[in-house]
């Protein structure tokens, strides 16, 4: 199975995750969803594995810059999917797929538990 780390390269948390994976010898592919996009099937599969409230970063700048109406419209899986596809920056980063359960976010302890 291929391990894929999704995110954007200039995100500090993504940088830390990439460094951790490299330093620990984990073979992975990096998917920059700003440049490479994010297809509906992938985002939908994430939402089947994790609740939308985990995947949509409601503490970040992108969320804060949405209008009140846009924020209020995100109430469930379907509306979160549309927002995630339209504005990939709202997705909590990084997303790690292919290493067991889908992981969202990064801490050294989290990745150590995934790759023990």
Q: Which of 1, 9, 10, 11 is catalytic?
A: 11
Higher pLDDT, 116 or 78: 78
Number of domains in the chain: 1
Global pTM value? 0.93
- List the structure tokens of 84: 């995630």
Give the domain extent around 64. Answer: 4-114
Q: How far is residue 101's CA from residue 116's CA, in Å, rounded to a whole number? A: 14
Report the Cα 76 to chain-centroid distance in Å: 17
Which CATH number is 91's domain given?
Answer: 3.40.30.10
Residue 1 has pLDDT above 90, yes or no: no
Band of residue 97 on the pLDDT scale cut at 50, 70, 90: very high
| Token pair 């709202």 in the structure block, residue | 90
pLDDT above 70 (res 39)? yes
Mean pLDDT of the chain: 96
Q: Is 102 an active-site residue?
A: no
């Amino acid at each position: 199975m291929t391990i894929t780390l999704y995110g954007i390269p200039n995100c500090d948390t993504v940088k830390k995750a990439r460094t951790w994976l490299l330093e620990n010898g984990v073979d992975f592919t990096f998917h920059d969803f700003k440049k490479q996009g994010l297809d509906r099937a992938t985002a939908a599969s994430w939402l089947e594995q994790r609740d939308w409230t985990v995947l949509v970063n409601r503490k970040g700048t992108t969320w804060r810059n949405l209008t009140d109406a846009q924020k209020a419209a995100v109430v469930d899986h379907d509306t979160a999917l549309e927002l995630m596809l339209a504005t990939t920056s709202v997705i909590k980063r990084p997303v790690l797929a292919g290493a067991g359960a889908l992981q969202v976010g990064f801490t050294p302890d989290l990745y150590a538990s995934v790759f023990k």
